[in-house]
């Protein structure tokens, strides 16, 4: 679970409230200080998925998960003073051609405490407040409201507070103008990972104060969008490749009557684990504030990808040889997409924007790239590309992909070189903690404690 994703890293990693009120003996009033780092889960992008919808193959499903590590039966809310966004780049420049933006508002009063267990009555985060959302599409300089007063599926709080939960799930799935669908709300977290892969890949990374391997919930923003709405020029056959990332921005505040109260981007997520594994720890908070169109010249993303510190650490732990820098293979995987038309060592046309007919030049930017024309695999393989399943990660990401293992193996050299394919036993028991469903939003109903 730790590896849930890049942005989660930042806030979770330092993990702890560095310091709150001091209780130094004998000094009640002489010293004040506040937490330095907090569990700022509300704006934590934890996972991003993008794949061709298996039963509606003219559409793409994108799931952005926020607020990780939700305990069963506990309510969690989105930040009402933040923007949650999913961006689509169909030109390979790092600029969003289409952006879907969620904003949230609280509705009505909290559910009475009579039906709530005592331990659920702590903070506002813990009160079961119904939320509604507005979904806006930003495209070509104009914005269009797709959903107003949308229903956010709450946590499953038991039969009295949230009776007939499956009906609430259905209520939270809405049709969008133009043939798409949206789901917003709580679901079982589909993330899973292999323990051995996690312990190798995360060596030297901060420790999560979270028990892994426990089924937990997450707050999902899920879209199912016709491919033609996302493809460059609306032509999904000629321009099938898109790049996807999600961001959260929160309204800041001035101080002492001056300073800006603008929205600040506090979370960014494209490829899973990219921020944790590729970006050095010291720059991880910074990565969260960056936009992909600045990656090429920003002096952080490109050099970090070409020579990731973590590769050496992991290789040493795993007692294998790490490929030598510069890692053009990682650049191809994470920053350009796989293509034979560039100078990357992976000789395969898969998911680079260069495969789009109307694209001639691309920038190196970190995005989760999906070729929408790759046929849906009859038997999906959780190791995706590495096991020859072209529809799997890193060509987009499906709910069943074991991205931690795939990232670990790619960090150690696959698929450009021999790498260390056997580093994680393929018959390991890692599996989805709660099976996904066959139709949108595919996410299992929230985990409950009962």
Restricted to residues 254-273, the positions that interact with other proteins (CB under 8 A) are: 254-257, 259-260, 264, 266
3-state secondary structure (DSSP) of residue 450? coil
Helices marked H in 227-385: 227-230, 284-287, 301-306, 309-318, 328-330
- The closest alpha carbon to 91, from 268, 230, 227, belongs to 230
Which letter does DSSP use for residue 36 in this model? S
Contact 264, 252 (CB under 8 A): yes
Q: Does 39 bind other proteins (CB under 8 A)?
A: yes
Cβ closer to other proteins: 50 or 216? 216
Q: Contacting other proteins (CB under 8 A), which of 54, 99, 110, 126?
A: 126
Query: Is residue 163 part of the contact set for other proteins (CB under 8 A)?
Result: no
| 158 touches other proteins by CB under 8 A | yes
Q: Does 35 bind other proteins (CB under 8 A)?
A: yes
Query: 322: which DSSP letter?
Result: P
For residue 254, what is the DSSP state?
A: -
What would the x/- binding string for other proteins be over residues 88 to 117, using CB under 8 A? ------------------------xxxxxx
Given a contact cutoff of 8 angstroms between Cβ atoms, the answer to whether 265 and 247 are in contact is yes
Say whether residue 33 binds other proteins (CB under 8 A). Answer: yes
Give the neighbor-by-neighbor strand order of the sheet with 217-226. Answer: 45-52, 59-70, 217-226, 181-188, 173-175
- Phi, then psi, of 357 in degrees rounded to 5: -60, -40
Per CB under 8 A, which region of 67-75, 321-329, 383-391, 398-406 contacts other proteins?
Answer: 67-75
Our finding on whether 289 is near other proteins (CB under 8 A) is: yes
Residue 71 binds to other proteins (criterion: CB under 8 A): yes
Query: Would you state the structure tokens that stand for residue 180, as one six-digit string?
Result: 């798409």
Q: Does 167 bind other proteins (CB under 8 A)?
A: no
Please give the Cα distance from 234 to 187 (Å, whole number): 32
Supply the DSSP symbol for 126.
Answer: G
Q: In whole angstroms, how close is the CB of 433 to other proteins at the nearest point?
A: 9
Is residue 81 a contact point for other proteins (CB under 8 A)? yes
Q: Is 160 in the site for other proteins (CB under 8 A)?
A: yes
340 near other proteins, rule: CB under 8 A: no
**Residue 132 bridge partners (DSSP):** 105, 151
Smallest distance, Å, CB 82 to other proteins? Answer: 9
Task: Centre a 10 Å sphere on the Cβ of residue 353 and count the other Cβ atoms it contains.
Answer: 29
DSSP state of 206: P
- For other proteins, the binding residue among 132, 134, 195, 252 (CB under 8 A) is 252
Which is nearer to other proteins, 124 or 141 (by Cβ)? 124
Q: Which of 211, 422, 427, 429 binds other proteins (CB under 8 A)?
A: 211
Query: Of 177, 178, 204, 417, which lies in the binding site for other proteins, with binding defined by CB under 8 A?
Result: 204
- Nearest 10 degrees: Cα torsion 171, 172, 178, 180: -120
When asked if residue 123 is in the footprint of other proteins (CB under 8 A), the reply is yes
Q: Is 124 in the site for other proteins (CB under 8 A)?
A: yes
Least gap, CB of 306 to other proteins (angstroms): 15
For other proteins, the closer of residues 60 and 266 by Cβ is 266
CB 304 within 8 A of CB 284: no
Structure tokens at 130: 């119904």
Of the candidate residues 107, 170, 237, 251, the single one contacting other proteins (CB under 8 A): 251
Candidate ranges 167-175, 282-290, 334-342, 370-378; the one touching other proteins (CB under 8 A) = 282-290
Residues 205-209: contacts with CB within 8 Å, 24+ apart? Answer: 205/2, 205/9, 205/13, 205/276, 205/281, 205/310, 206/9, 206/12, 206/13, 206/14, 206/15, 206/281, 207/2, 207/15, 208/1, 208/2, 208/12, 208/13, 208/15, 209/12, 209/15, 209/16
- Give 252: exposed, middle or buried? Use CB within 10 Å, 0-12, 13-18, 19+: middle
Q: Which stretch binds other proteins (CB under 8 A): 52-60, 88-96, 249-257, 402-410?
A: 249-257
Could you tell me the smallest distance in angstroms from the CB atom of residue 209 to other proteins? 3
Region near other proteins per CB under 8 A, out of 221-229, 308-316, 395-403, 421-429? 308-316
Does residue 303 touch other proteins according to CB under 8 A?
no
Binding residue for other proteins (CB under 8 A) from 109, 170, 178, 207? 207
The answer to whether the beta carbons of residues 392 and 401 sit under 8 Å apart is: yes
Q: Interface residues for other proteins in 420-449 (CB under 8 A)?
A: 447-449
Our finding on whether 361 is near other proteins (CB under 8 A) is no
> d(Cα 402, Cα 444) in Å, to the nearest integer?
17
By CB under 8 A, is residue 145 in contact with other proteins?
A: no
Of 83, 137, 250, 364, which one interacts with other proteins (CB under 8 A)? 250
> At its nearest, how many Å lie between other proteins and the CB of residue 348?
30
């Amino acid at each position: 679970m730790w590896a849930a994703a890049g942005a989660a890293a930042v806030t979770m990693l330092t993990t702890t409230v560095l310091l709150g009120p001091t209780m130094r003996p004998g000094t009640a009033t002489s010293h004040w200080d506040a937490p330095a780092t907090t569990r700022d889960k509300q704006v934590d992008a934890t996972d991003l998925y993008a794949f061709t919808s298996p039963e509606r193959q003219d559409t793409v499903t994108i799931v952005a998960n926020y607020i990780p590590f939700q305990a069963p039966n506990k309510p969690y809310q989105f930040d009402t003073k933040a923007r949650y966004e999913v961006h689509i780049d169909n030109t390979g420049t790092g600029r969003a051609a289409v952006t879907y933006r969620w904003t949230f508002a609280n509705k009505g009063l909290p559910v009475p405490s009579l039906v709530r267990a005592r331990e659920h009555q702590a903070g506002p985060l813990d009160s079961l407040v119904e939320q509604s959302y507005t979904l806006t599409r930003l495209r070509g300089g104009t914005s269009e409201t797709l959903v107003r007063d949308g229903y956010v599926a709450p946590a499953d709080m038991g039969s009295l507070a949230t009776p007939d939960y499956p009906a609430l799930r259905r209520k939270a799935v809405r049709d969008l103008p133009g043939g798409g669908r949206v789901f917003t709300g709580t679901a079982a977290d589909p993330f899973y990972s292999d323990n051995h892969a996690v312990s190798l890949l995360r060596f030297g990374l901060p420790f999560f104060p979270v028990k892994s391997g426990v089924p937990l919930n997450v707050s999902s923003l899920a879209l199912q969008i016709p491919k033609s709405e996302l493809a460059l020029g609306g032509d999904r056959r000629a321009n099938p490749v898109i790049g996807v990332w999600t961001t959260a921005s929160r309204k800041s505040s001035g101080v002492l009557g001056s300073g800006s109260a603008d929205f600040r981007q506090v979370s960014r997520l494209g490829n899973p684990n990219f921020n944790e594994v590729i970006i050095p720890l010291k720059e991880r908070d910074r990565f969260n504030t960056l936009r992909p169109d600045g990656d090429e010249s920003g002096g952080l993303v490109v050099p970090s990808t070409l020579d990731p510190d973590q590769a050496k650490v992991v290789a040493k732990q795993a007692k294998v040889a790490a490929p030598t820098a510069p890692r053009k293979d990682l650049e191809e995987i994470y920053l350009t997409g796989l293509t034979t038309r560039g100078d990357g060592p992976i000789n395969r046309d898969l998911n680079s924007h260069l495969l789009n007919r109307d694209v001639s030049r691309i920038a190196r930017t970190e995005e989760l790239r999906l070729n929408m024309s790759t046929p849906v695999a009859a038997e999906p393989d959780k190791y995706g590309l590495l096991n020859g399943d072209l529809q799997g990660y890193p060509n987009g990401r499906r709910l069943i992909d074991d991205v931690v293992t795939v990232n670990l193996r790619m960090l150690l050299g696959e698929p450009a070189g021999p790498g260390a394919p056997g580093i994680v036993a393929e018959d390991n028991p890692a599996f989805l903690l709660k099976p996904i469903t066959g139709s949108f939003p595919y996410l299992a109903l929230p985990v409950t404690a009962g």
